[in-house]
């Protein structure tokens, strides 16, 4: 492991204060308040159209609220320069394929752009930071591999390594396990828990209640543009709230040790759905 790890940035808190947002006159978010603290994995759970992606865009400063404000350590995001904001806040997209066969380490090196700018070559320190983050995510052996030739799970870990190479301590993710197989989903969620244990903050949108239970320290339920519940995952993610969000009846089954929960339909699935 490299001994030139970046100095950790100060732990910042991201807050949403009574935010309303409308798109072309159509209300999308209504009075949303939320705080993301250091060491938390916060899952945003809600049906399509509930406002999850819009809220993530506000958290990243890509959209501005109609009323209310989004702050980083008490300072409105609008008062940060984009480069300064990138030192604290990073976006991890759904796994994607670049059209060019860049090496994995080159993808991660893009995270150093807020520090180097576009006109400077990476320094020894930048290369050490990239090596450190590849090692942290357990993908150092992929450094020379083309990004286009690694698995979906490995690509997603590469994108986290890129975000960490920015020096950011707050990670924003939109459906980060989309397209990953079951094994890679569980491995990815384990990495999120490890990051939180080291003081990073993660906020992610998800459609999977079980994933919220496995990885989140808190769950915020979005329904029709408002947060209707916010609290510990085991208290918030229940058959009653799943019925509220998705309009389906489920029964919860817990493992004997109480460490895992699964949900199953309470009633037989109609033949038309079984055959779909």
Express each pLDDT in 128-141 by its tens digit. Answer: 999 999 999 999 99
Looking at the domain assignment, is residue 255 inside a domain? no
Please state, in angstroms and rounded to a whole number, the distance separating the CA atoms of residues 173 and 208.
14
In terms of C-beta density within 10 A (0-12 exposed, 13-18 middle, 19 or more buried), how is residue 223 classed?
Answer: middle
Predicted confidence at residue 42, as pLDDT, reads 96
Whether residue 5 is predicted with pLDDT greater than 60 in this model: the reply is no
Instruction: Tell me: pLDDT of 10 over 70.
Output: no
In this structure, what token pair is assigned to residue 186?
A: 């569980």
Q: What's the pLDDT tens digit per position in 89-103? A: 999 987 677 778 899
Using alpha carbons only, what angle is made at residue 179 by residues 228 and 34, rounded to the nearest 5 degrees? 25
Statement: the pTM of the whole predicted model exceeds 0.75: yes
The token pair at 197 is 């244990």
pLDDT in tens, 146-184: 999 999 889 989 999 999 999 889 999 988 887 788 888
175 located within any domain: yes
Q: Is residue 8, in this structure, part of any structural domain at all? A: no
Split into its structural domains, the chain has a count of 1
Residue 263 lies in a domain: no
User: Is 166 domain-assigned?
Assistant: yes
pLDDT-derived band of residue 267, with 50, 70 and 90 as boundaries? low
Q: What is the CATH number of the domain that holds 221?
A: 3.40.50.300
Host domain of residue 110: 14-237
Mean pLDDT on 235-249: 88
- Region 251-271: mean pLDDT is 64
What's the pLDDT score for residue 220?
A: 96
Answer yes or no: is 196 within a domain: yes
Residue 264 placed within a domain: no
User: Is residue 76 domain-resident?
Assistant: yes
Residue 57 CA, distance from chain mean position: 12
């Amino acid at each position: 492991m490299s001994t030139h790890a970046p100095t950790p940035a100060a732990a910042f808190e991201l807050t949403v204060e009574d935010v309303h947002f409308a798109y072309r006159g159509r209300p999308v978010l209504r009075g949303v308040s939320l705080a993301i603290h250091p060491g938390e994995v916060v899952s945003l759970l809600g049906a399509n159209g509930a406002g999850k992606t819009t809220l993530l865009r506000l958290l990243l400063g890509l959209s501005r609220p109609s009323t209310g404000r989004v702050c980083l350590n008490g300072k409105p995001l609008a008062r940060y320069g984009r480069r300064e904001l990138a030192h604290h806040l990073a976006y991890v997209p759904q796994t994607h394929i670049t059209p060019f066969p860049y090496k994995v380490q080159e993808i991660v090196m893009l995270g150093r752009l807020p520090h180097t700018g576009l006109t400077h070559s990476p320094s020894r320190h930048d290369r050490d930071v990239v090596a450190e983050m590849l090692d942290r995510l357990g993908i150092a052996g992929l450094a020379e591999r083309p990004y286009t030739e690694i698995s979906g799970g490995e690509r997603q870990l590469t994108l986290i390594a890129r975000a960490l190479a920015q020096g950011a301590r707050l990670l924003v993710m939109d459906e980060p396990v989309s397209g990953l197989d079951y094994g890679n989903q569980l491995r990815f969620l384990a990495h999120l828990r490890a990051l939180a244990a080291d003081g990073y903050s993660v906020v992610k949108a998800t459609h999977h209640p079980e994933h919220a239970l496995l990885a989140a320290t808190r769950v915020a339920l979005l329904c029709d543009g408002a947060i209707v519940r916010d609290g510990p995952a085991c208290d918030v993610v229940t058959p009653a709230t799943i019925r509220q969000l998705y309009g389906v009846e489920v029964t919860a089954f817990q493992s004997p040790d109480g460490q895992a929960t699964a949900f199953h339909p309470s009633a037989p699935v109609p033949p038309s759905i079984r055959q779909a």
